[in-house]
Structure formats: structure tokens, C-alpha cells
């Protein structure tokens, strides 16, 4: 029976266009009123909610154990499903089948019940929805207090859904407290708000709070892909990724943008069309702009920015996309698994991995700070394009400058760093020394700055070294020799890092190419190049390679140790000792000094390698 007393017929299998009795969507028919995707695919049960597993699990356990509170408060950003979740709660509280087989609240709603359609369409007389933004006064709350005493007309519970509850006045909140703390058994309250901090703690303490999370971009992509299949719309995965990232975790925003993209494309939804619709720059071109900046190539950065601007890209959007890519590279550098997120394009992930291995954290942090400040300047500028170009000039200009702490170490002779020596007689075409060796090596290949610009750059001047007293250059052509040199210099930290964290790819005098273990320090490459120059008297180029390289020295020593132990265990006399002492094992094999000629011993006594039961 529905609210008017008319019998309700359960849905049949013929209703293939419906899910749980609700409109499932599909392509719009000619002459039929069109419903936007955000309404057509609004969830109607807990199974349909996406990205809110914690809320669903808590509510499910509460319903199964009968621990149902008198009030909930749902908080989260716009479009994550607060009002929808409130309606699903109201439906679950009042779920009832025509045959009366369901006796109480339940989260299992395989078919629509007697009250479900009316509740989800916000027209059930026992489920009252109130918008607190337009009903903020005491009189509105007084009407609820007066009506809550009366039993529901047809449903099991009276449910009051108050959206944007933080908009209620202080007096209205105070009028609500008594009813909210001790409501009748037949009344339940569900509050929704985007500003949880504006809700008084006296109200929060009377409710169970649920924080609805932003939905991850990859989850949104899967959701949009399913909807595209139902709507029979052809869409590129990259276009879905752009929409998912632009929605910033809001399901409603993603569906609205997808709806707009379908109308904009008038056919297959392509990534270029979505970028044009949103006013975004091409991600590949943003990455090219980033590459030009880290190389300090101002001319190339200007050309790339102007080409994007001429095609309609907003300067603020270009800088925002650039900042977003800086953030992505930083996250990949810290957590390499971030690059596996399918919400980002293949080009972004591959190039971000490459940049993360070449650019130091200091450079990325400096670029991030300059972009944040620059975006604010561009927003306030009367000529945004010109202001954006000046921001790019600043970023490219400092690309090869040392950070303040590196500059201090260069000027301090006791720090062990080689000072930068400049001379007025030096040719302007000479490469500018780069302090951070972990920055992009492509900087060396960029076009040298003009003489006027080079003269304008502040120089760090130190006294020229005494050539007669300078130590002779030391040649190193093997990796073990390099490790031995670190030991001779009593640099235990560098020696341990070379043995445990560095995999050799190739080495020649003045050039070292390595791969790094995950445990390697972030400043290892920079420190190693500086110390090699100090130890050998010549500048070294240290490069992080994408190749696997050899095993580390520690791994090689471990392999050799295991081989010696296996060889010792295979010796008949050692086997005899192991047999006589059950539980004993070989833990170390040592090489003895050469025996005198008259000695009959040719092998080490097994007992020398044994230490009781710990052998």
C-alpha cells in the first residue's frame, strides 16, 4: 500500500531499465524529458554508494546489532552524497515489503519496498526534508518540536532530514537541544552540513558523526566508465581522467562535468574536447613547459607558454596545472607507487618518474613556493599573460642557483665543499657550475645565457687556489677503488652508503653512473659528487641511471659468504662435526694466514669455525 492506500505491485523482471525499481537511465528517448546524470544515477541503496566504505560498514553493523542512534550528522565537501545518504538511511529505517516479511530496519533492500519510491523522491509524508539555509529561525524548529510528538502516519519512523544544518541560528540550535537529546522512539534525525565547525558542540555531542570522504579519482573514473556504457557514449579513458581530477572528489561535480562533456562533444568524448571545454592546457605541453623551466631555458619556456595562450589557455590555469605537476613529481619522488595511479595519463606517469630521479627535493619545493606566490600575483594583475611570463622568468632564472644552505657551504672553507671560482677573464660561453647534482642533467645541454644576463647574475667569488700547492689529481677507474678511497678518507658514512645503497652501472675517471636503492639518502648524489671533487682534485659527473646496474657490494659480499658457507658444509669433516652436534650450523668461514711449509694442515680445522651449538 502506498501513502494513498493504493496497493503497490512489486516490480517484475520486465522492468529491465530499472535498478531496484528506480530509473536506471540509458540513452534519452526522443520527446522524453531529460534527466541530468547526477539525478538519474543517484544511489538508492548502500550498495550503490561509492568511496564511502567506512560509513557503510558502520551503519551496517549498527542496523544488524540493533544499535541505531536517534541522530546522525553527515559532513563532507559538496557532491559526495550527504543528502543521498540521508535518504538511504530513511529508506532503510522504513523498509517494508507488501507481504510484511520485513519486521524492522535493514540495510538489505533487494527490491523497492512500500515507502521506498516516495522517500527517494522526497515526497513521503513521514520523511520531512528541510533546507536550513532558508529555514533558519526558531519558528521553523518549533514546528519540528511540535510535530515530532505525533506518531508516523504510515511508515515505521518519522525521519527529519535537515540539510546545511550549520545555517540554523544560535537560538534555533538551542531550541533543538532538548528534542534532539530525548526524542520519541518513533523519531530519527539526519543532519547534513559542509561546515561541521559551525555546528555547536552541544548538537554534535547528541549525534553520531560520519565524515564522507572525497572519492578517489580512479574510483570516479570507474564510475563514469560504467555510466558511459549504460548511456552508450564512447569516451576516451584520458578524458575520464581529466573529468575525475577536475571534480576534486565530488561525485555530483564529476557527473555534471561528464554531462556537459557529452553535450559539448556531440559524439565521442575526446580528451582534447574536454580540455577545451574546461579551459585546460594540454598536459603534455604543461610537462614540456616544466622541462624547459627546470633546464633554465627561458626562451623555450616563453615560446611554449605563448603557444598555449594563443590556443585559448588561461594563464592562471597554466600555472595551476604546472603547480599540480610539480606536486605530482614530488609525490612520486617520495612515494614511487603514486605513479601507478591510472587517473593520470601514461605520459604524465612516465615523465614524472624520470623527473623524480633527476630533480632534488629542494628544487621542487622552491618551484612550488614560487608558483603559489606567482598564481596570486597573476590573479591580481591587469595583464595576466605578462604577469605569468614574469613568474616563468623567475622560476627559470633560479633553476641552476644553489639553495641558501648550499651557498653557505660553498663559501665556508671548513664545510668540505669546493667554492665556486669565477674570473672576469673567463669566457661567457663557459657552463655555469650547478650546485645540486640531482637536478636535471639536461640543463647542461640548454642554450647558454647571453653575456648581459650572465653579468647580471650575482657571482660567488672566492680567492683563487694556490696552483703550486694544489694536490695532484687522483685517477679512479674502478668502483672498489672508489670505496677504498672513502675508507682512506675516514668517511664512514659515504663508504657505508657506497657499499649498501649504490649499484654500479659504469665508471670511468671523472664520471660515475649508478642506480640507487630505495634506502639511499636523498642528498647522496650531491654529496658524493662534491666529495669526489675534493678527494681527487677534478670535477666528477655523477648520474642516476634508469638501468638496473650491478648488485651492491654488500649484496655481492653476502653472496660470496653464502658460497663459502655452502662449500664448507660440503666438506666431509665439517659434515662429521655437524652430525655429532645436532642443531649446530656454520655461521662464518674465515681465511687463515698461509701455513708454514712443514705444516700438514691444508684446510682449516672445522672446530675453528664452530662455536659450540652456534656453529
Residues 555-564 have a mean pLDDT of 81
Residues 123-138 have a mean pLDDT of 87
Nearest to 112 by CA among 26, 19, 39: 19
Q: CA-to-CA distance for 181 and 203, rounded, in angstroms?
A: 9
Cα distances (Å, whole numbers) of residue 442 to 230, 295, 358, 360: 47, 6, 10, 14
Q: Which domains does the chain have, with CATH numbers?
A: 18-211 (3.40.50.300), 217-278 (1.10.8.60), 282-464 (1.20.272.10), 479-550 (3.30.300), 554-614 (no CATH)
pLDDT digits (tens, 9 = 90+) for 492-544: 788 888 888 888 888 887 888 888 888 888 788 888 888 888 888 878 888 88
Q: Which residue is associated with the grid cell 623555450?
A: 300
Q: Which residues pair with 543 in a beta bridge?
A: 513
Q: Pairing relation of β-strands 22-23 and 71-75?
A: unpaired
Q: How confident is the model at residue 576 (pLDDT cuts 50, 70, 90)?
A: confident
Q: CA-to-CA distance for 421 and 399, rounded, in angstroms?
A: 19
What pLDDT does 426 receive?
A: 35
Least confident range from 126-130, 285-289, 445-449: namely: 445-449
* Pair 388, 315: CB distance under 8 Å: yes
Least confident range from 321-325, 391-395, 427-431, 529-533: namely: 427-431
Q: CA-to-CA distance for 3 and 117, rounded, in angstroms?
A: 11
Mean residue pLDDT across the chain: 77
Q: Which three cell numbers stand for residue 265?
A: 562533444
Q: How confident is the model at residue 191 (pLDDT cuts 50, 70, 90)?
A: very high
pLDDT digits (tens, 9 = 90+) for 19-69: 444 554 555 554 467 888 888 888 888 888 888 888 888 888 888 888 889
* Pair 253, 215: CB distance under 8 Å: no
What pLDDT does 72 receive?
A: 92
What pLDDT does 453 receive?
A: 42
Q: CA-to-CA distance for 296 and 302, rounded, in angstroms?
A: 11
Q: CA-to-CA distance for 128 and 155, rounded, in angstroms?
A: 12
pLDDT digits (tens, 9 = 90+) for 272-286: 888 778 766 667 888
What pLDDT does 73 receive?
A: 92
What pLDDT does 140 receive?
A: 87
What pLDDT does 403 receive?
A: 64
Calculate the CA dihedral of residues 213, 219, 225, 229 and round it to 10 degrees: -80
Q: Which three cell numbers stand for residue 487?
A: 675508507
Higher-pLDDT residue of 328, 547: 328
Amino acid at each position: 500500500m502506498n501513502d494513498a492506500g493504493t496497493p503497490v505491485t512489486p516490480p517484475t523482471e520486465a522492468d529491465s531499465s530499472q535498478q531496484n525499481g528506480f530509473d536506471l537511465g540509458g540513452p534519452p528517448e526522443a520527446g522524453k524529458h531529460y534527466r541530468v546524470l547526477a539525478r538519474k544515477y543517484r544511489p538508492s541503496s548502500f550498495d550503490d554508494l561509492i568511496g564511502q566504505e567506512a560509513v557503510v560498514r558502520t551503519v551496517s553493523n549498527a542496523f544488524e546489532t540493533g544499535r541505531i542512534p536517534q541522530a546522525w550528522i553527515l559532513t563532507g565537501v559538496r557532491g559526495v552524497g550527504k543528502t543521498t545518504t540521508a535518504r538511504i538511511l530513511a529508506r532503510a529505517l522504513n523498509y517494508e515489503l507488501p507481504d510484511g516479511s520485513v519486521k524492522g530496519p535493514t540495510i538489505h533492500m533487494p527490491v523497492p519496498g512500500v515507502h521506498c519510491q516516495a522517500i527517494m523522491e522526497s515526497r513521503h509524508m513521514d520523511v520531512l526534508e528541510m533546507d536550513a539555509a532558508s529555514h533558519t529561525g526558531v519558528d521553523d524548529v518549533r514546528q519540528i518540536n511540535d510535530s515530532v510528538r505525533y506518531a508516523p502516519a504510515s511508515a515505521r519512523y518519522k525521519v527529519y532530514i535537515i540539510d546545511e544544518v550549520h545555517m540554523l541560528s544560535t537560538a534555533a540550535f538551542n531550541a533543538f537541544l532538548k528534542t534532539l537529546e530525548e526524542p520519541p522512539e518513533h523519531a530519527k534525525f539526519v543532519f547534513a552540513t559542509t561546515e561541521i565547525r559551525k555546528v555547536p558542540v552541544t548538537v554534535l555531542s547528541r549525534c553520531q558523526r560520519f565524515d564522507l570522504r572525497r572519492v578517489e579519482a580512479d574510483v570516479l573514473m570507474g564510475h563514469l566508465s560504467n555510466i558511459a556504457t549504460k548511456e552508450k557514449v564512447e569516451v576516451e579513458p584520458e578524458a575520464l581522467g581529466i573529468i575525475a581530477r577536475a571534480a576534486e572528489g565530488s561525485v555530483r561535480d564529476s557527473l555534471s562535468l561528464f554531462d556537459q562533456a557529452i553535450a559539448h562533444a556531440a559524439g565521442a568524448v575526446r580528451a582534447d574536447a574536454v580540455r577545451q571545454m574546461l579551459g585546460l592546457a594540454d598536459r603534455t605541453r604543461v610537462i614540456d613547459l616544466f622541462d624547459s623551466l627546470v633546464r633554465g631555458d627561458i626562451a623555450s619556456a616563453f615560446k611554449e607558454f605563448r603557444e598555449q595562450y594563443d590556443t585559448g589557455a588561461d594563464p592562471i590555469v597554466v600555472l595551476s596545472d604546472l603547480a599540480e605537476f610539480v606536486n605530482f613529481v614530488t609525490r612520486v619522488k617520495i612515494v614511487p607507487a603514486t605513479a601507478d595511479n591510472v587517473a593520470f595519463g601514461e605520459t604524465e606517469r612516465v615523465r614524472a618518474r624520470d623527473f623524480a630521479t633527476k630533480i632534488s627535493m629542494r628544487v621542487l619545493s622552491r618551484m612550488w613556493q614560487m608558483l603559489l606566490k606567482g598564481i596570486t600575483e597573476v590573479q591580481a594583475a591587469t595583464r595576466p599573460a605578462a604577469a605569468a611570463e614574469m613568474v616563468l622568468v623567475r622560476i627559470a632564472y633560479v633553476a641552476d642557483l644553489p639553495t641558501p644552505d648550499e651557498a653557505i657551504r660553498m663559501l665556508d672553507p671548513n664545510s668540505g665543499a669546493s667554492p665556486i671560482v669565477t674570473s672576469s677573464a673567463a669566457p661567457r660561453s663557459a657552463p655555469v657550475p650547478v650546485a645540486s647534482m640531482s637536478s636535471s642533467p639536461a640543463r647542461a645541454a640548454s642554450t647558454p645565457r647571453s653575456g648581459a644576463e650572465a653579468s647580471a647574475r650575482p657571482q660567488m667569488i672566492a680567492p683563487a687556489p694556490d696552483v703550486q700547492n694544489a694536490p695532484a689529481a687522483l685517477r679512479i677507474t674502478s668502483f672498489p677503488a672508489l670505496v677504498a678511497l672513502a675508507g682512506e678518507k675516514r668517511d664512514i658514512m659515504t663508504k657505508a652508503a657506497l657499499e649498501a645503497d649504490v649499484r654500479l652501472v659504469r665508471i670511468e675517471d671523472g664520471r660515475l653512473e649508478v642506480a640507487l636503492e630505495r634506502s639511499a639518502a636523498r642528498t647522496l648524489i650531491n654529496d658524493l659528487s662534491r666529495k669526489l671533487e675534493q678527494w681527487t682534485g677534478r670535477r666528477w659527473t655523477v648520474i642516476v641511471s634508469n638501468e638496473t646496474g650491478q648488485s651492491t657490494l654488500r649484496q655481492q659480499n653476502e653472496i660470496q659468504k653464502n658460497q663459502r658457507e655452502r662449500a664448507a658444509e660440503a666438506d666431509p669433516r665439517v659434515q662429521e662435526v655437524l652430525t655429532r652436534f645436532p642443531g649446530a650450523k656454520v655461521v662464518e668461514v674465515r681465511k687463515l694466514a698461509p701455513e708454514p711449509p712443514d705444516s700438514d694442515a691444508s684446510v682449516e680445522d672445522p672446530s675453528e669455525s664452530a662455536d659450540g651449538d652456534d656453529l
